[in-house]
Structure 1
Amino acid sequence: MAYRGSVKPYVNFNAKHDAEVLHKAMKGIGTDEDVILMLLTARTNDQRQQIKVAYKKAYGKDLVSALKSELGGLFEDLIVALMAPPALFDATQLHKALKGAGTNDEVLIEIMASRTPDEINNMIKVYKKEFSSKLEKDICSDTSGHYQKLLVILLQASREEGVKEGLIQKDAQDLYDAGEGKFGTDEEKFIGILGTRSIEHLLQVFAAYKKIAGCDIEESVEGETTGNLENLLLAVVKCTKSVPTFFAEALYNSMRRAGTDDDTLMRVMVSRSEADMLDIRAVFKKKYGASLHSSIQEDTGGDYQKALLYLCGGQD
C-alpha cells in the first residue's frame, strides 16, 4: 500500500543537528518561529521523539518545556501536540474529554470510532501509565446506556475477521427489523452488529441493507436513534465506509462555524498527518469544491496557519 500521509520521514535525518537548530532558534532575544515550524512539521513523529532525546542530551533540558516557554497561543498548542507520541496524544485527548467539567463526547466519539485496533490497544496502555487510571473505567463513569455499551465494545478492539457470507443477509435484515421495520428501536442489535463485525463484512451488510430498506444505513440510524448513541453509530458507519471521508467532514465542520473549532482542526491535522492526510485532502476537494489548503488559509492566521499548511502537505 502506498503511503498516504502528508508528513514523510525526513531523508537525511540527524537528530543531533536538528536539536542544535532548534536550540539556536530559541536562544537569545526573540524566537525564530519559522525555523521551528518548518523543521518540526517536516519530521515524522518518530523523528521528533529522537530530536527530544538528542536535545535533552545536548542541553540538559526538556525540548517540549523549552518550546512552551518560547511559543504562545494556538501555535504553541499545535507544536506541543506534534511532539507527543500518537498513543499519548490520543490518551491525553480522551483524558481531557472525560475529566473536564462535563464530557466532551465529540472527542470521545471521533477517537473511538476511527482508530485501528492496534491504536486503541496502545492508547489504553499509555492512558493507564500516564493517568494511573483505566480508560474503560473512566469512560464508564462518564457515560451511560447504549452509548456506553458501544464505547466499551469499541474499546475491546476485537472486531471479527473476514466476511461471514451466510450472515450478510441476516445482519441486514436484523438491522432493518431492529429499526425501520418496527415501532421503537432495538438498539442492542445495532450495537452488536456495528460494534463487532469486520469492516469488510459490514460494507456488504450495508449494501444488502440498502436493497431491503431502500435507503442508506445512515438515514436509518438518524431516524431511529438520538443523541450520543446516534452520533457514535453514525461515526462507526462513516469510518467503516471511509475514514478519510469521516475526517474530511470533521475538518469542514471545524471551519464552517462562525468561529473556528481549533481543537478539532488541530486534533485531526496532527493525528492524520502520517496516516491518510493525502486521501482526506482529495475527499475534501471533491466533496466541498474547495481545497483543504485554501480553507485553512481563510480560517486561520500567523505561525499557526503556516504550520497547519505544512501539515496539510502543500497545495492541491
Structure 2
Amino acid sequence: MASKGTVKPSLNFNATSDAELLYKAMKGLGTNEDAILELLTARSNTQRQDIDKAYKTLFGKDLIKDLKGELGGKFETLVVALMTPPLAYDVTSLRNAIKGAGTDEKVLVEILASRTPQQVKEIIAAYRKEYDDNLEEDVAGDTSGHFKRLLVILLQANRQSGIQQDKITSDAEALFKAGEEKFGTDEQSFVTILGNRSAEHLREVFNVYMKISGYEMEESIKRETSGGLRDLLLAVVKCARSVPVYFAETLYYAMKGAGTDDNTLIRVMATRCEVDLMDVRKEFRRLFACSLHSMIKGDTGGDYRKALLLLCGGDDA
C-alpha cells in the first residue's frame, strides 16, 4: 500500500554523513537553521533515529540536547517532535497532558480517539515501561464523569471488530432514545456504544440514526452533551467517519482566529506527516476552500514556518 505521508524515507541515506552535516550546522558561531530543517524534514523518523545514534558515536554528544541548545521557541519544539519516535511522542504527550498543571483534555481526546486499538495497547505498554505507572489509572485520577468513562473504555482497546448487522438498528435506536427522544440525556448509552463498536459498524449506525432522527450524529452530540465529553464524543464520531477529515479540521481550527494553537499544529504535523498527511491535505482543501500550505504560510513565521511547509510537502491551491 502506498504511503499517504508527505515525508518519505530518503533513498540515498547515510546516517554518518547526515550526523556530520548537523554537527557542522551547529558548530562555531551562529547556527545554520536552514541546513537543519531541510535535512530533518527530508528523512523518515526511523532515519532520524539512526542519525541520532551516529551522532552519539561520532561526537559523543546527544543530538537532541545539542539541537535544543542551538534552536529556540516553536521551531525547537517542532524539531524535538520530529526527532522523537512516534510511540514515545504519544506517551510523552499523554504524560504531560495529565501530569502538568491542570489537565490538557485536548491532547487526551486527540490521541485516544484517533489511534487504533493496537496503537493504544502499545502506548499503554510503553507508558508503563517509561514511567512505571498505569496510564488508565493516571487518566482516571485526572478526569471525571462520563468523560472519564469514555476515556477508560478507549484505553481498554477492545473495540468489537467488523459490522454486527443485528445491532445496527438497535444501536441507532438506543442512541436516539438516549438523546433526541428524551428530556435530558442518557450519556452512558452514547459512551458505551460509541466507545465499543468498530468504525465500520458506527458508520452504518450513523446512517440509520440519520433516518430515524433526521439529524447527523454530530448535530445530536452538540445539542445533547457539553464540555470534555462533547469534544471526545465528537472526535470518536469524526474518526469513525474519517481520520484524515478529523485531522484536517483539527489543523484548521488550530490556526483559525486570533492566535495559533501551536502545540496542536506541531503535534498533528509531526505525528501525521508519515501516516496520512497527503489525505489530510486533500480533505483540508475540500472542506475549507484554501490549502493547508497557504494557511500555514499565513499563520506562522521564520524557520518554524519553513519547516512546517516542508513537512506539508506541497500546495493544493
TM-score (norm. length: structure 2): 0.98
Identical counterparts, % of pairs: 59
**Aligned counterparts of 1:119 and 1:307: Cα–Cα separation in 2:** 27
Give 1:89's aligned residue. Answer: 89
Give 5+ residue unaligned stretches, structure 1.
none
Give 1:299's aligned residue. Answer: 299
**Which secondary structure state, in structure 2, belongs to the residue aligned with residue 133 of structure 1?**
coil
Look up the equivalent residue of 1:135 and give its one-letter code. Answer: L
Q: Verify: 1:263 aligned to 2:276, yes or no.
A: no
**Aligned counterparts of 2:126 and 2:167: Cα–Cα separation in 1:** 36
Q: Verify: 1:157 aligned to 2:147, yes or no.
A: no
Deviation readout 1:20-49 (Å, 9 max, x if unpaired): 111111111111111100000111111111
Give 1:201's aligned residue. Answer: 201
Give 5+ residue unaligned stretches, structure 2.
none
Give 2:252's aligned residue. Answer: 252
Give 1:53's aligned residue. Answer: 53
Q: How far did 1:257 drift?
A: 2.4
Give 2:134's aligned residue. Answer: 134
- 1:270-281 map, 5 Å: 270-281=270-281
Q: How far did 1:163 drift?
A: 0.7
**Aligned counterparts of 1:314 and 1:92: Cα–Cα separation in 2:** 29
Q: Verify: 1:175 aligned to 2:175, yes or no.
A: yes
**Aligned counterparts of 2:131 and 2:257: Cα–Cα separation in 1:** 33
The number of aligned residues is 316
**Aligned counterparts of 1:23 and 1:101: Cα–Cα separation in 2:** 36
Look up the equivalent residue of 2:122 and give its one-letter code. Answer: N
Look up the equivalent residue of 2:285 and give its one-letter code. Answer: K
Q: Verify: 1:219 aligned to 2:232, yes or no.
A: no
Q: How far did 1:50 drift?
A: 0.8
Give 2:111's aligned residue. Answer: 111
Q: How far did 1:132 drift?
A: 2.5
Look up the equivalent residue of 2:282 and give its one-letter code. Answer: A
Give 2:23's aligned residue. Answer: 23
**Aligned counterparts of 1:293 and 1:152: Cα–Cα separation in 2:** 36
Q: How far did 1:131 drift?
A: 2.3
**Aligned counterparts of 1:202 and 1:315: Cα–Cα separation in 2:** 33
Deviation readout 1:181-215 (Å, 9 max, x if unpaired): 11221111111110111111111010011000011
**Aligned counterparts of 1:314 and 1:206: Cα–Cα separation in 2:** 34
**Aligned counterparts of 1:276 and 1:246: Cα–Cα separation in 2:** 12
Look up the equivalent residue of 1:69 and give its one-letter code. Answer: G
Give 2:231's aligned residue. Answer: 231
Deviation readout 1:71-118 (Å, 9 max, x if unpaired): 111111110111111111111111111111111111111111111122
**Aligned counterparts of 1:37 and 1:83: Cα–Cα separation in 2:** 11
Give 1:10's aligned residue. Answer: 10
Q: Verify: 1:243 aligned to 2:226, yes or no.
A: no
Give 1:308's aligned residue. Answer: 308
Q: How far did 1:129 drift?
A: 2.2
Q: How far did 1:130 drift?
A: 2.2
**Aligned counterparts of 1:38 and 1:134: Cα–Cα separation in 2:** 38
Q: Verify: 1:125 aligned to 2:125, yes or no.
A: yes
TM-score (norm. length: structure 1): 0.98
**Aligned counterparts of 1:274 and 1:158: Cα–Cα separation in 2:** 26
**Aligned counterparts of 2:182 and 2:315: Cα–Cα separation in 1:** 49
**Aligned counterparts of 1:184 and 1:76: Cα–Cα separation in 2:** 47
Look up the equivalent residue of 2:253 and give its one-letter code. Answer: N
Q: How far did 1:157 drift?
A: 1.3
Look up the equivalent residue of 1:271 and give its one-letter code. Answer: T
**Which secondary structure state, in structure 2, belongs to the residue aligned with residue 66 of structure 1?**
helix
**Aligned counterparts of 2:275 and 2:156: Cα–Cα separation in 1:** 22
Runs of 4+ in 1 over 6 A off after TM superposition: none
**Aligned counterparts of 1:69 and 1:230: Cα–Cα separation in 2:** 41
**Which secondary structure state, in structure 2, belongs to the residue aligned with residue 57 of structure 1?**
helix
**Which secondary structure state, in structure 2, belongs to the residue aligned with residue 193 of structure 1?**
helix
Give 1:62's aligned residue. Answer: 62
**Which secondary structure state, in structure 2, belongs to the residue aligned with residue 119 of structure 1?**
helix
**Aligned counterparts of 2:245 and 2:214: Cα–Cα separation in 1:** 23
